[in-house]
């Protein structure tokens, strides 16, 4: 037994060594992946500091450099003082432009918002907040980087709106991602770029947040009837009194619909009450995976999505049973949203999806 433990210890140590950077090159690779936005960050915000910003001449800037070199050669060959003056002025302009464009990005803070949601075929809108401490920023754009598509990335960067952010203020920015099918969509890498104020220098940086959007299935149309039980319990499931008391009120319980809250009594007493009796009746239904009667998974998800929307419209409480997870009986708005999120994440359990921000 002792030999087994002794043999196991080196194996654990070797595994730990394998998962940690073992050399300077490994550490540099990890640093480069983070700096270029290849490694997703769980942080809610990112500040563009010196090591994250890269600068190079733009196409216009390369033209200015070429003209400066040509003028310098002309001045040397023909001993023209004016050619020297103009070439040195252009060189000084490029140096000043490099510093000014770099300062336009340095210190910008980018914060992420909640995970967006939409129905398949619509667009996800990822909300960003861009803060500008200390000074005015002009011509800052943010675009999404698509892997293995340089042409689309260049077009997206050129078409991205340019922001003007006053000193010590914030600006809202939205990244729109079109969708075609249900599932979890990761935002991926972002390109933050600026060519202001002169347009001859391009400064850029990358950000990569662990952030996903949820694309829900398209509800089935026309909306099917809710799968209430048949037989003796059918009527009791369709309308179930939540509670009974002489005044038709009871104490509010988590999960109760806000439409049944007795707001007058809440305003008078400060205590939360829920209406019962005829006003407090609600249906109760179990939305089970097997109750759809369909074989195709996407068709099943569409039918369950239609049931969830119908249950909310009819003020019915529902429980949800999927192969990837379950929800207990409730009828609140958060319950409805969580159920649709489970459909979007299927077949992966919702709690294992990384990057969902609420």
CATH number of the domain that residue 75 is part of: 2.60.40.10
Say whether pLDDT at 278 is over 80.
no
Q: Quickly state the pLDDT bin for 233 (edges 50, 70, 90).
A: very low
Residue 9 counted as domain residue = no
Secondary structure, 3-state, 210-226? CCEEEEECCCCCCCCCC
Burial class for 290, CB neighbours closer than 10 Å (0-12, 13-18, 19+): exposed
143 within a domain of the structure (yes/no): yes
CA–CA gap between residue 256 and residue 333 (Å, rounded): 9
Question: What is the C-alpha to C-alpha distance for residues 232 and 76, in angstroms, rounded to an integer?
Answer: 103
Question: Is 294 found in the same domain as 190?
Answer: no
Does residue 284 contact residue 240 with C-beta atoms inside 8 Å?
A: yes
Give a three-class secondary structure readout of 284-353: EEEEEHHHHCCCCHHHHHHHHHHHHHHHHHCCCEEEEEECCEEEEEECCHHHHHHHHHHHHHCCCCHHHC
Residues 66 and 203 in one domain: yes
Please list the residues that pair with 333 across neighbouring strands. Answer: none
Band (242; pLDDT cuts 50, 70, 90): very low
Q: Report CA torsion sign: 26, 32, 38, 40.
A: positive
With b meaning 16 or more CB within 10 Å and e meaning fewer, what string describes 219-252? bbeeebebbbeeeeeeeebbeeebeeeeebbbeb
CB-CB contact of 94 with 101 (8 Å): no
For 146-179, what is each residue's pLDDT tens digit? 876 777 777 888 888 899 999 999 999 999 999 9
Instruction: List, in sequence order, every beta strand (DSSP E) within the chain.
Output: 45-47, 54-57, 109-112, 117-119, 123-132, 137-144, 163-165, 169-178, 183-186, 189-194, 201-208, 212-216, 240-241, 249-251, 273-275, 281-282, 284-288, 317-322, 325-330
Contact 301, 343 (CB under 8 A): yes
pLDDT of 189 reads 92
Q: Which range has the worst mean pLDDT, 39-48, 275-284, 299-308, 335-344? A: 275-284
User: pLDDT tens across 308-357, in order?
Assistant: 998 888 888 999 999 999 999 988 889 999 999 999 999 999 999 999 99
14 assigned to some structural domain: no
Residue 75: inside a domain, yes or no?
yes
Choose the weakest-confidence range: 147-156, 183-192, 214-223, 233-242: 233-242
Tally of domains in the chain: 3
More confident residue, 290 or 276: 290
Q: How much is the average pLDDT of 251-255?
A: 69
Q: Is 50 contained in some domain?
A: yes
* Per-residue pLDDT at 321: 95
Per cent of the chain over pLDDT 90 is 61
Non-local (6+) Cβ contacts of 102 within 8 A are: 53, 55, 201, 203
Same domain, 84 and 169: yes
Q: Is 132 helix (H, G, I), strand (E, B) or coil?
A: strand
Residue pair 129/113 in contact by the 8 Å Cβ criterion: yes
**Do residue 189 and residue 265 come from a single domain?**
no
- Residue 316, domain extent: 217-239+283-358
pLDDT tier at 281, thresholds 50, 70, 90: low
Is 112 in the same domain as 141? yes
State the average pLDDT over residues 291-305: 95
In this model, does residue 71 exceed pLDDT 80?
A: yes
234 & 118 share domain:
no
Q: Based on the domain organization, do 137 and 248 belong to the same domain?
A: no
Residue 5 has a pLDDT of: 36
Domain termination residue (choose one: 231, 255, 281): 281
In this structure, the answer to whether residues 222 and 207 fall within a common structural domain is no
What's the mean pLDDT in 108-127?
Answer: 96
Work out the average pLDDT over 190-194: 95
- Give the Cα separation of 174 and 143 in Å (integer): 9
Higher pLDDT, 238 or 67: 67
pLDDT attached to residue 156 = 80
Residue 33 maps to a domain:
no
Question: 270 and 162 share a domain?
Answer: no
> Looking at the domain assignment, is residue 153 inside a domain?
yes
For the segment 4-21, what is each residue's pLDDT rounded down to a tens digit? 334 433 333 333 334 444
DSSP letter at 259 equals G
| Cβ atoms of residues 264 and 275 within 8 Å | no
pLDDT score of 35: 63
Nearest to 98 by CA among 194, 222, 200: 200
* Residue 201 shares a structural domain with residue 119: yes
Claim to verify: residue 53 and residue 195 sit in the same structural domain: yes
Give the pLDDT confidence of 91-108 residue by residue, as tens digits: 999 999 999 999 999 999
pTM of the model: 0.78
pLDDT of residue 255: 58
In a shared domain, residues 170 and 267: no
Tell me: pLDDT of 59 over 90. Answer: yes
Q: Is residue 8 part of a domain?
A: no
Q: Which residues pair with 322 in a beta bridge?
A: 325
Query: What is the average pLDDT score of the chain?
Result: 84
């Amino acid at each position: 037994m002792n030999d087994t433990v002794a043999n196991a210890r080196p194996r654990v140590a070797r595994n730990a060594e394998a998962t940690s950077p073992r050399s300077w090159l490994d550490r540099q690779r990890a640093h480069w992946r983070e700096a270029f936005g290849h490694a997703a960050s769980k942080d809610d915000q990112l500040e563009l500091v010196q090591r994250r910003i890269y600068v190079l001449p733009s196409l216009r800037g390369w033209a200015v450099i070429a003209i400066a070199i040509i003028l310098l050669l002309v001045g040397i060959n023909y001993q023209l003082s004016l050619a020297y003056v103009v070439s040195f002025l252009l060189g000084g302009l490029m140096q000043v432009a490099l510093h000014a464009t770099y300062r336009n990005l340095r210190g910008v803070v980018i914060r992420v918002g909640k995970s967006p949601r939409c129905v398949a075929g619509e667009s996800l809108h990822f909300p960003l907040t861009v803060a500008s401490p200390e000074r005015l920023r002009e011509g800052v754009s943010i675009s999404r980087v698509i892997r293995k598509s340089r042409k689309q990335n260049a077009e997206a960067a050129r078409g991205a709106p340019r922001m003007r952010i006053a000193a010590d203020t914030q600006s809202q920015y939205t990244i729109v991602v079109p969708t075609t099918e249900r599932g979890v969509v990761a935002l991926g890498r972002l390109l933050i770029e600026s060519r202001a104020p002169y347009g001859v220098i391009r400064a850029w940086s990358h950000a990569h947040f662990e952030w996903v959007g949820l694309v829900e299935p398209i509800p089935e149309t026309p909306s099917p009837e809710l799968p209430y039980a048949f037989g003796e319990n059918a009527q009791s499931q369709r309308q179930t009194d939540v509670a009974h008391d002489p005044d038709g009120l009871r104490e509010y319980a988590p999960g109760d619909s806000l439409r049944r809250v007795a707001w007058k009594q809440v305003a008078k007493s400060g205590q939360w009450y829920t209406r019962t009796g005829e006003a407090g009746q609600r249906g109760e239904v179990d939305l089970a995976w097997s109750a759809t009667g369909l074989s195709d998974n996407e068709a099943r998800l569409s039918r369950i999505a239609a049931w969830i929307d119908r249950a909310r419209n009819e003020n019915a409480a529902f429980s949800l049973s999927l192969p990837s997870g379950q929800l207990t009986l409730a009828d609140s708005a958060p319950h409805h949203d969580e159920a649709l999120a489970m459909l979007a994440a299927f077949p992966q359990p919702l709690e294992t999806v990384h990057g969902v921000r609420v």
